[in-house]
Amino acid sequence: MRALALYVHQCLNKINLDHFISVSSLHTSSSVSAKQHYKMLVLGGGSGGIAMSARMKRMMGAENVAVVEPSEMHYYQPIWTLVGAGAKTAASSGRSTASVMPSGVKWVKSKVEEINPDTNTVRTDDGTEISYEYLIVALGLQLHYERIKGLPDGFEHPKIGSNYSIQTVEKTWNALQNFKGGNAVFSFPNTPVKCAGAPQKIMYLSDSYLRKTGKRSKAKIIYNTSLPVLFGVKKYADSLWEIVKQRDLQVNLRQNLIEVRADKQEAVFENLDKPGETTVIEYEMLHVTPPMGPSLAIKGGPLADEVGWLDVDRDTLQHKRYPNVFGIGDCTNLPTVRTAAAVAAQSAILNRTISKTLKKEKPDKKYDGYTSCPLVTSYNTVILAEFDYNLQPLETFPINQAKERRLMYHMKADLMPHLYWHGLLRGLWGGPGPYRKLLHLGMK
C-alpha cells in the first residue's frame, strides 16, 4: 500500500509539474506574440510608409523596422485619373503589398487601432501591442462617401463613378462610355482632398472623349467646386480658365455636393455662400469626389492637432510634441497639397531629419512645401503645376509649365509610374523638387 501511495504521489507531482510547464509555456508564448518591439515602427503601407521603410532599412537594418498595414494590395493612385477615362486599366495600378514591402522588414498585417506616444506603443485591431523607439506615421486620410446623402449606396446605380476608390474608378469609365447626352457633372467637396487637381482632370478627359466620339454637342459639362477658385496657384489657374472658356465648360464656384438621388439621376448642391440654398441638377453622368478627413487612428488622439491631422513641424516633419514621432504624406497637417510628388519631396527631408535625430543633432534641412499636380487636360496634354507652401511656382523645367504639353502627358502616364514603383517605393527617388532628378538624367 505504501508503494502504491508513493507511486500515486509521484504521478500527481508530475501532472502538476506538467500542468505548470504547460501553463507557463502558454503564457510566455502568448505574451511574445501579443507584444513586439522595434527600433522604427512605420504606420501605413502607402507611398509614404513604404518609401520610408525602405530608407529606414538602409539606415538601421531590416530587423529593426516594421510596417503596420492591413491591405494585401498597394495601388499607385495617381493613375486612377487615367483609369477613369479609359486610358489605363485598373489592374495596372495595383501590385501586392508583399511585392513592394522592403525585404527583411517585418510586415504586421493589421489595422492601427490606437497610438499611445506617452508609452511608445501602438495597439492593432487584433489586440497586439507593439512598442517602438521611433515612430513614422503615414496613415493617409479617410474617404467619407457616407457624408453625402445617398452614398455609397448610390454607386449601385449606373452613370455614377469616382476616381478616388478602386471599387468605383471603373464605374467612371462605364458612365463615360455609356453617355448619350445631357449633363455630365463633376464635384469637388468642402474638405481638404488628396490630389486637388484630380476632380477637374476627369472633366477635361471626359470633354476630350465626348469630342472624339461625336457626343460633345449633346453634352453640357458642369464642374461644381466648393472652392472660391478654379486652382490655388494663379499662374496655372489662368491657363485652366482659358481651357474652360475654349471648351465651353461650365464652372460653378462655392457649390458643395450634399446629396445624390441615384435612382432619379439627381445631384443636390448647396451654395456655400448662401447656406441652406440648394440646387438640384439632373445628370447623365456624375463623378463624385468624396469628402475626406483625418485617419480615425489619429483623430482625437494625443498626436492630432485641433482638427484631427497629425501635428508635425512644417519644416522638419517631426511631431511638435513628441520628438521620436514623425509624419509624412496625407495624414499630416502640412499646409500643402496632398500628392505623391509631395511625398517624394518629403521622404528625403524626413530621412535627413531622422538621421540627425538619431545622432542627437538638430535637423538642418527644411521642407519648403514642394508639391506637384500634373493637370491632365486631354488624352495627350498636361499642364505640370509645381509649387511651394506659398502657392508660388517652384518649377523644374526651363519652359513655361503653365502651357499644355504632350511631353508632360507622357511623363505623367508612362514615366512617373515607373519612377514610383522602382524609385520612390525603394527609397531611391525623391528630394526637394523630385522631378529635378530627371534633368540630371538628361530627360529634359
**Residue 19: half-sphere exposure toward Cβ, Cα within 13 Å:** 6
Please say if 373 is a catalytic residue: yes
Distances (CA, A) of 270 to 155, 255, 284, 287, 376: 21, 6, 20, 17, 28
- Name the pairing type of β-strands 65-68 and 106-108: parallel
User: Model pTM greater than 0.85?
Assistant: yes
Annotation: CATH topology of 36-141+294-440: FAD/NAD(P)-binding domain (3.50.50)
Q: What is the dihedral of CA 329, 330, 334, 339, to 10 degrees?
A: 70
How confident is the model over 218-276, as pLDDT tens digits? 999 999 999 999 999 999 999 999 999 999 999 999 999 999 999 999 999 999 999 99
What pLDDT score does 274 carry?
97
Radius of gyration from C-alpha coordinates of the chain? 26
Among 275, 282, 427, smallest CA distance to 350 is for 427
Please say if 11 is a catalytic residue: no
Residue extents of the structural domains in the chain: 36-141+294-440, 145-291
Annotation: CATH topology of 145-291: FAD/NAD(P)-binding domain (3.50.50)
What pLDDT score does 237 carry?
98
| 112, 205, 373, 413: the active-site residue | 373
| 40, 41, 169, 195: the active-site residue | 195
Cβ atoms of 53 and 104 closer than 8 Å:
no
CA-CA distance, 372 to 83, in Å (whole number)? Answer: 20
How many other β-carbons are positioned within 10 Å of the β-carbon of residue 25? 10
The yes-or-no answer to whether 36-141+294-440 and 145-291 have a common fold is yes
Distances (CA, A) of 70 to 46, 99, 100, 133: 11, 14, 14, 22
Say which residues have a Cβ less than 8 Å from residue 129's Cβ, sequence separation at least 6: 34, 35, 36, 121, 122, 123
CA-CA distance, 120 to 40, in Å (whole number)? Answer: 11
Tens-digit pLDDT string for the chain (444 aa): 333 333 334 433 433 433 333 333 222 223 334 469 999 999 999 999 999 999 999 999 999 999 999 999 999 999 999 999 999 999 999 999 999 999 999 999 999 999 999 999 999 999 999 999 999 999 999 999 999 999 999 999 999 999 999 999 999 999 999 999 999 999 999 999 999 999 999 999 999 999 999 999 999 999 999 999 999 999 999 999 999 999 999 999 999 999 999 999 999 999 999 999 999 999 999 999 999 999 999 999 999 999 999 999 999 999 999 999 999 999 999 999 999 999 999 999 999 999 999 999 999 999 999 999 999 999 999 999 999 999 999 999 999 999 999 999 999 999 999 999 999 999 987 765 666 555 433 332
Cβ atoms of 68 and 129 closer than 8 Å:
no
